[in-house]
Structure 1
Amino acid sequence: MWYPPKVTQAPSEPISVADAKRHCVVLHDDDDGLFAALIVAARDYVERYCNTPMATQTIEVKCDTFCDFRRLPVAPVQSIVSIEYVSTDGTDATVDVVDFEPRLDGLEASILPAYGKQWPIARHGSRIKLTATVGYESLPPAIRHAMLLWIAEAYESRENTALPAWTALDALLCNYRRGA
């Protein structure tokens, strides 16, 4: 069983204020703070909709057993930083990088023992901690476009007079959704 991830290195936003302003055809700097906030909100919305981190960030996530590594709870994964556990004698230990094989295949990431290796035995009742760099190195064009549409709609509809029709967002993001 995986426990909720903890972000240890916050993401840098995947869309710049200048790009958002260009998309909205805004030529002044008066609303730069608003655009920065809308970018964060758009990333948060898309991450929750897709159940996927969009921007590069480092996370720690814990699980109960090594068999949980057959499907990582977060994807895409760029790299594995470390796998830590408590050994049967009670000491903290780290799985050597040559002892596991990351399979970081898009939205279905997993980690397997390397050929001829097996997972170590962790102390009963302890948790295994995976530290990984997750998120897209560069956003896929459809996700980037969906975020820019969200930002433009939020910028234009600041008074919240009517609920927007998000069918374009659904169409752009549906291929990037990850089931829980």
Structure 2
Amino acid sequence: MTYTRTPTLASPVTLMDAKHHLRVMHDDEDLLIQRYILAAAREIEAYCEIALTRQTISLTVLAEGGDIIPLPVGPLAPDAEVTANGTPLVNSIMPGRWPVLILPETMTGPIALTYEAGFADTSASVPDDLQLAIMEQAAFAYDNRGSVDVRPGLVPAAARICARYRRVRA
């Protein structure tokens, strides 16, 4: 299933928290550190198939009325509205970390779905362990910037945390 994300610019970790974690006391590299935070967050979101801060998720599915469709990115944002072909769906969602949509019987064919996912709008709503994973990943990138010997992927500390949030597929 392919989908697109339209993220907000809200940071899942505050710059101050990241600078404390990195032990950076000056302001000269604030923009660079913020970029590492966002890059680490996007890597973790892709690995776990989650949204840390509010994002709009759009996808098209070929479905029959009554189909049960697992939404690809969780959790469903607080007060999120799910639309199918522009029509809001009410009482058709089973929320949770991995929300599920039950299509109304009248909807068939290609259906454009849009919904908002994410823990909320600010870093205060992102679970502490995921914030730590982001800071560990950002610290690794910051400490190894410019190195050609570094292998891509999550650092072990971030991978252990993310494993608890990753969806298991049958």
2:36 to 35, 38, 44: 38
- C-alpha separation between the residues in 2 aligned to 1:29 and 1:153? 19
Aligned equivalent of 1:61: 59
Looking at structure 2, the residues matched to 146 and 175 of structure 1 have their Cα atoms a distance apart, in angstroms, of: 11
Structure-2 change in CA distance of 1:128 and 1:29 (3 Å) = same
Residue equivalent to 1:120: 106
Structure-2 residue corresponding to 1:84: 84
| Structure 2 partner of 1:176 | 165
Q: Which residue of 2 aligns with 1:23?
A: 21
In structure 1, stretches of 5+ residues that fail to align are 86-92
Structure 2 match to 1:166: 155
Aligned with residue 130 of structure 1, among 109, 113, 127: 113
Contact between 2:60 and 2:113, CA under 8 Å: does it hold in 1?
yes
Give the direction of change, closer, same or farther, for the CA distance of 1:36–1:121 in structure 2 (3 Å limit). Answer: closer
For 1:168, give the aligned amino acid.
A
State the TM-score, normalized to the length of structure 1. Answer: 0.76
Aligned to 2:74: 75
Map of 2:48 onto structure 1 = 50
Residues 76 and 99, structure 2, Cα contact 8 Å, conserved in 1: yes
In the comparison of the two structures, how many residue pairs are matched? 161
Contact 1:56 1:134 in 2 (8 A): yes
Partner of 1:103: 94
> 1:45 Cα deviation (Å)?
1.3
The answer on whether the counterparts of 2:21 and 2:135 sit within 8 Å (CA) in structure 1 is: yes
- C-alpha distance in 2 between matches for 1:141 and 1:26: 20
Give the RMSD, CA atoms, in angstroms. 2.5
Determine the C-alpha separation between the residues in 2 that align with 1:9 and 1:48.
Answer: 12
Structure 2 distance, partners of 1:176, 1:168, is 14
For structure 2, the residue ranges without an aligned partner over 5 or more in a row are: none
Give aligned-pair identity as a percent. Answer: 27
Which of 134, 138, 157 is 1:151 aligned to? 138
Q: Distance in 1 between matches of 2:140 and 2:68?
A: 39
Q: Deviation at 1:19?
A: 1.7
The answer for the alignment partner of 2:87 in structure 1 is: 94
Separation in structure 2 between the aligned mates of residue 52 and residue 169 of structure 1, nearest angstrom: 15
1:178 Cα deviation after fit? 1.7
Task: Tell me the TM-score normalised to structure 2 length.
Answer: 0.80
Superposed CA offset, 1:35-63 (max 9, x none): 11101110111112212222211222211
